[in-house]
Copies of this chain bind each other. A is one copy, B any other.
C-alpha cells in the first residue's frame, strides 16, 4: 500500500479544527487531528509544506519508521507545532491500518483491557453555590467524576468558568482577551468550594480541579495540602511544568493526587515526573503528544511507576483525537480516566463519530480504524476564523500564566 494523496481540512464548526487526511492507492484513507488551539495554521503550514511532500509514496503500515522519520528528520526537535503535526500523521496511519485490516484500532494496540471508559465532566459556576448546583446537574447526568471550577470573589474572569451561561470556549476571536488574576484570592477560595462539595455530595463522587499552571510550588503545596481532606481525584496543573523538579515540593507536602501534561509534547517533558513519581496521572493527549505510537511508549514507562493516563479532552481537540484517545483508553492497562467535554452539535455535522456517553462512561463501537469520519462538504461551509486563547495579567499588570 502506498500513500498517494494527503489533504488538510481546516474548518470552524463553532471552533477551529485542523484535520489531516492521508489517502492510499487502495482507496483506504485515515484521519488525524492536527488542532493546536490558537495556532492551527502554523501546524497546517508545517504539514503542508514540509511533511506532506515526504509522505507521498510511503507505505502507511511502516508507522514506527515514519514516526522517527519526522521526529528526527526535522533536526529541530519537540515543541507543540512539530509534535502536533507528527501526532496527526501517526493517528491517520493507525486509522488506515485498522481500516485496511478491518479492525478497530484498539485491537491493534493490545485489545480491550476494559469494557467502558470512565470520564470526567466539567462543572463550573460563577460562585460556590452555582458550582455546587452544576456539579449536581452532572451527577444527575450519571457522571461519576466531575471537575469543579468556580469564579473567584474579586476576579472578573477565571479559567474554566464561562459567562452568561454559554458553553465554555476560552478561545475568542479578535486579539487575546486579557483577564486579571490574583493567586491569593484563588488559594483562599478553592478549599471552601471543595469542602462544600463534599458536604453536599458526600465521599463517593470523584472530584477534580484544575489550577491551570497558576501556582508556584509552595502555593500549590499549600493548596494540595488544604484539599487533602476533600480527597480530590486529582489536582491538575498545579504548577507550570517546564521545570519538572518544581513538583518535588508539592509532592513532599501532600497526598493529593497530581495530574499534568496537557501542554507537553514528548516523553522528555515527563521523565523526571515519572521516575521520581512526582505525579499520578499523565494528561499529554494523542494529538499533541506524538500520536498513539509515542503515547504507548509513555504509558508503558509510566506503568512501571504506578502512573496512569488521564488524557486531556477539552473541545479544542477534535472528535478524531477523542476517538483515538478512546481506543488508547480501552487498550492500555494503566488507563486512569478520560476528560470529556462534549462538542457543540455543529461539530458533529462535520465529524461523524462512533462513541457515545452513557452512565458516566464513554463507549466506542467496533468500526474499523478509529471510527470517525469527516464530511468535507459540510466542513467547507465553516471556514477557519482566527481565535486566541486568553491572557492573564496580575493585578499590577504583570503577564501571568493563563
Please tell me which one of the listed residues B39, B63, B288 contacts residue A46 in the complex, with CB atoms under 8 A apart.
Answer: B39
The 8 Å CB contact of A113, one of B68, B79, B300, is B68
A110 within 8 A of B: yes
Complex interface bits, A40-66 against B, C-beta within 8 A gives 1, otherwise 0: 011111100110011000010111110
Per the bound structure, the CA–CA distance linking A256 and B243 in Å amounts to: 21
Please give, as numbers and ranges, the residues of chain B lying within 8 Å of A37 by CB-CB distance: 75-76
A199 interface contact, C-beta 8 A: no
The answer, yes or no, to whether A296 is at the interface (CB within 8 Å) is yes
- Apart from A101-B103, A218-B257, list 15 A-B contacts with CB within 8 A: A38-B50, A41-B49, A50-B388, A72-B392, A72-B400, A72-B402, A74-B389, A76-B81, A76-B263, A79-B265, A80-B81, A101-B101, A246-B305, A248-B277, A249-B251
Contacts A263-B75, A268-B243, A386-B53 hold; do A110 and B301 have CB atoms under 8 A apart? no
A80 touching B80 by the CB < 8 A rule?
no
User: Considering only CB atoms, which chain B residue lies closest to A398 in the complex?
Assistant: B114
Complex contact A386–B288 (CB within 8 A): no
Q: Which of A44, A267, A303 has the most CB of B within 10 A?
A: A267
Is there an interface contact between B391 and A69, defined as CB atoms closer than 8 Å? Answer: yes
- State the CA gap A74–B80 with chains docked (Å): 10
Question: Which residues of the other chain, B, contact A396 by a CB distance below 8 angstroms?
Answer: 114-118, 361
Chain B residues whose C-beta falls within 8 Å of the C-beta of A206 in the assembled complex: 184
Distance between Cα atoms of A240 and B334 in the complex (Å): 14
Shortest A173–chain B CB gap in Å is 11
Q: Are B305 and A300 interface neighbours, CB within 8 A?
A: no
